Structure 1
Amino acid sequence: MKFETRALHVGQAPDANGAVVPGIELSTTFAQRSPGHPLGAYDYSRSGNPTRERLEQCVASLEGGKHGLAFASGLAATVTLMHTLKPGDHVVCIDDVYGGTQRYFRRVAKGMGIRFSFVDFGAHAEHLESAMEPETKMIWLETPTNPTMKVVDITQTARIARGHTGVVLVVDNTFMSPFCQRPLELGADVSFNSVSKYINGHSDVIMGMLCLSDDTLHSKLRFLQNSLGAVPSPFDCYLALRGAKTLAVRMRQHETNARQVAAYLEAHPHVRQVLYPGLESHAQRDVAARQNYCAGGMLSFVLDGGLLESKRFLEHCSIMTLAESLGGVESLIEHPALMTHASVSPDVRERLGISDSLIRLSVGLEHIDDLLAELAAALDAAFSKTKCPDPVS
C-alpha cells in the first residue's frame, strides 16, 4: 500500500461492531478470566492499550519500520532512549539541536554519568568520525536542525555508525515527518518524532514516538516504556491517529506555501538570509533533494536588523501566531533566542548562529496571499522610518 493508504488503514480496521472509526479504549484495566490470564491481549493500560497500539502500528508503517512506541511527549521518548545507556557511555549529538533536547542532555542526563559531545557534522562528516570513542553508544541528529535548518546526510552518518560496534543512530524526524523523510530507509536505527507537531498536526496533543525495526532494541524499549510509565492517554492517541490520516495532504500544502514564503523572503531587502532546504541557496540543497521526499514547511530567516526589529516584526504578526511549537495547520512564528532556545547558554547560541535576528516560521495552511501580505506589513512596520511603539520588553 502507498503512504496515503497506510495512513488511513494500518491499525485501523473496523472493530467488532463494524465501526469504520474504532472507538477510544479509555479503560485503565482489563478483566481476567483467571489470575494471570486476561480475557484478551491487555491487562493494564500503562503496559498496553488498544488505541495506543493502533497509533503505534500506523506510524511505524508510515516510517517504514516494524515497531512503534508512543510516549507522553517527545522528551519522554528521549528520556526512555537515554535509559538504554549506562554511566560512562558516550553520545555524539549534532550541535544545533532542539533547545529542550540540549537542556536535557546538558543538565539532566549528564548528571546520570552519560557523556555528550556536541559536534557540527552537518556538512563535515569527518567531525563526526573524529568525535567517536570506544565508549560511544549513540549518535543523535536532527535533519534539518532546529532552528538553523542544517541538513545532515543520514546515509553517510549511518555508514559511520556501522563502522563502530554497538552504536545506535537516532534521527529526530520531527521537522520533516515520515511523509517528507524516512530515516529508517536511509540506515538509521531509530526514527524519532514529536507527534505534537506534523503527525498530529492540529496543535492539541503532546506526544512522542519512536519507530524502529530491530527486535532486540524494541524489546528493551518496550520494557522501559512500561517500567518508566511515560505513556500517552488513549484520547490523545485517538487524536493523533485522526491527524495522521491527513498527513500527506497537509504536508503537500505546507510545502507549497513554504516554498512561496521562502522565495518572497529571500527577495526582500530587509531579510539577510533564508534557511530552507527547498531553496537553491541552501548549503546542503543537494543532500536534502536526495534524501527528502519533499522540503517540508519549516524555515528560518535572518532579519537585516537586531533585537528591536525582530520584536517589532513579531509583534505585528497576527495570522502567523507568535507561539512556540510547529507543524500545526496554523502558521506559528517565534524568536528562538528568546523562546524555544532560551535555555541554551548565550555562548552556545552565538556559536550556532541563533542570533537576535533569527526568526523561525512553521508555515501553515492559510491562503498564501494572506501570509505574504502579513509578512510584507510586518516587515514594513519593523523597519519603518517612523517611530513604532516600543516592543514589549
Structure 2
Amino acid sequence: MHFNTKLIHGGISEDQETGAVSVPIYQTSTYRQNGVGQPKQYEYSRSGNPTRFALEELIKELEGGYQGFAFASGLAATHTIFSMFRSGDHIILGDDVYGGTFRLLHQVFEKSGLRYTLVETNKPETIAAAIEPETKAVFLETPTNPLLKITDIARVAEIAKEHGLLTIVDNTFATPYFQKPLQLGADIVIHSATKYLGGHSDVVAGLAIVKDEAVAKQVGFIQNAVGGVLGPHDSWLIQRSIKTLALRMEAHQSNALQVAQFLVEHPAVAHVYYPGLADHKDHDIARKQMTGFSGMISFELKKEAQVASFVEALRVFTLAESLGGVESLIEVPAIMTHASIPKALREQAGIKDGLIRLSVGIEYVDDLLADLDTALQKAGE
C-alpha cells in the first residue's frame, strides 16, 4: 500500500470480532485467564492492551521497524531508551535538542553515572571526535528543536556502526510522513506523539520504534518494568489522528514555506531558520533524506527588545509551548521550552534569548501572514 493508505489501513485498523472500522477502546486493567498460569494474549494492561497494541503495530509499520512501543509521553519514551544504558556508559547528544531531553539526561541520568557529550550532530566529524571506549549511542534530533539543523542520518549511522554504537533519532518534527530514519540506518526512532502524530493538542503521548529483535526485547522489558505506558483512550486518539497525518503535514508544510518567505523579506526580521529555504545551510541534506520540510520555523528580530511586544500582539498565533497541532503556536525557547538548559550552553548552541519559534498550523495562510505583519508593526511602534 501507498504510505497515505497505510495511515488509514495499516497495522490493526479495525476490530476483527465485530468488523468495527475503528479499533475499540479496551478500557480495562486486567483479563480473564484460561486457568492457573494460563493467560490469554493479554493479562494486565501495563504489560499489554489491545488498543495500545494496535497503535504500536501501526507506528511500527509506518516507520518500517521491528516493533513499536507506546508511552505516556515523549519523555517517558526517551527515559526508557536511556534506561538501556548503565553507569559509566557514555552518550553523544546533539547540542540543539529539546530542553526536556537535556534535563532528563543532565539532571536525572547523570546522577546514576550515565555520561554525555554535547556535539553539533550536523557536523559528523564532531561525532567521530567525541567517541570514547565507553560510548554506546548517538542521540540526535533532525530537524533540531529549535534551530532546525539537519543531520545526515545515513552518515551518522555509518560512523556509529563502525564503532558498535546505536543511532537514536528523535523524528518528532518530521514524522514518518517526511522522514524515515530506520531506512537511513538508525536503530531507534522516538516521537513525542503529542505533536504532529496527535495533531490536535488534546493528548500527551510518546512512541519508540526499534529496528531489531534484540533491542526490542530490552525496550519491552523496561516498558513493562517501569510502567510508563500509554492508556487505551489516548492510544485510540493517536491512532485516530494518524489517519489524517498526510493531509495535515502537507498543509503545515505549505503554510510554513509561505510564512518563512514572508519573514525573510520583512525588514524587522534578522534571520530565519527553515530547512525548506534554499539558503538554509543544511538544505541539501534535508532534500536528500526528507520528502518535505514540515511546519516548524525559528527566527530572530533585528531588535531583541521587541520580542515580547511582538509575541503578545499576535491574535491568531497562540503563545504556548508544544507544537504540531492544527492551530499555530508561538514561543520563546530560552524562557519556555529550553529554559532548563543553562544559558551558557544555550548560547553556545546558538539559541539566543531573542529566538522565536513558530509551529505553523493549518489555518488560512493569509490570516497567519496578516497576524504576523500586524504584530511586527505594533512591536516597532
TM-score of the superposition, structure 2-length normalised? 0.98
RMSD: 0.8
Q: Are 2:66 and 2:216, in contact at CA under 8 Å, matched by a contact in 1? A: no
Matched residue, 1:368: 365
Does structure 2 retain, via aligned residues, the 8 Å contact 1:189–1:213?
yes
Deviates more, 1:219-228 or 1:353-362: 353-362
Per-residue deviation at 1:356?
2.3
Cα displacement string for residues 104-153 of structure 1 (whole angstroms, at most 9, x for unaligned residues): 1111110010010001131x211110100111001000011110111100
Cα distance in 2 for partners of 1:15, 1:380 equals: 57
Residue number in structure 2 paired with 1:134:
133
How far apart are the structure 1 equivalents of 2:347 and 2:303? Answer: 16
Residue 388 of structure 1 is matched in structure 2 by: none
Q: How does 1:61-76 map to 2 (within 5 A)?
A: 61-76=61-76
Is the Cα contact below 8 Å between 1:304 and 1:357 reproduced in 2? no
- The code of the aligned residue for 2:138 comes to I
| Distance of 1:82 and 1:352 partners within structure 2 | 22
2:176: which partner in 1? 178
- Structure 2: which amino acid aligns with 1:100? G
Do 1:310 and 1:356's aligned partners in 2 also have CA atoms closer than 8 Å?
no
Aligned to 2:149: 150
Residues 71-113 of structure 1, C-alpha deviations (whole Å, 9 max, x = no match): 1111111111111100000000111110000111111110010
Report Cα offsets for 1:138-185 as digits up to 9, x if no partner: 1000011110111100000000000012x1110000011110111001
| Corresponding residue SS for 1:43 | coil
Question: Which secondary structure does the structure 2 equivalent of 1:221 belong to?
Answer: helix
Which residue pairs with 1:261 in the alignment? 259
Partner in structure 2 of residue 31 of structure 1? 32
Of 336, 341, 344, 2:341 maps to 344
**Structure 2 residues without counterparts, runs of 5 or longer:** none
SS in 1 for 2:117: strand
Runs in 1 of length 4+ with deviation above 2 angstroms? none
Q: Which of 290, 293, 297 is the matching residue for 1:292?
A: 290
- Counterpart residue number, 2:307: 310
Residues 121 and 140 in structure 2, CA contact (< 8 A), matched pair in contact too: no
SS state of the match for residue 139, structure 1?
Answer: strand
Q: Could you tell me how far apart the structure 2 residues matched to 1:105 and 1:305 are?
A: 34
**How far apart, in 1, do the equivalents of 2:167 and 2:315 lie?**
40
1:28-68 deviation digits (Å, cap 9, x = unpaired): 00001201212x31000000000000000111111111210
Q: Which residue of 2 aligns with 1:195?
A: 193
Instruction: Give the Å deviation of 1:213.
Output: 2.0
What count of residue pairs does the alignment treat as equivalent?
Answer: 380
Distance (Å, rounded) in 2 between the aligned partners of 1:221 and 1:127: 28
Rounded Cα–Cα distance in structure 2 between residues aligned with 1:56 and 1:25? 15
What is the alpha-carbon distance in structure 2 between the residues aligned to residue 197 and residue 100 of structure 1?
14
Query: How high is the TM-score relative to the length of structure 1?
Result: 0.95
Is residue 103 of structure 1 aligned with residue 100 of structure 2?
Answer: no
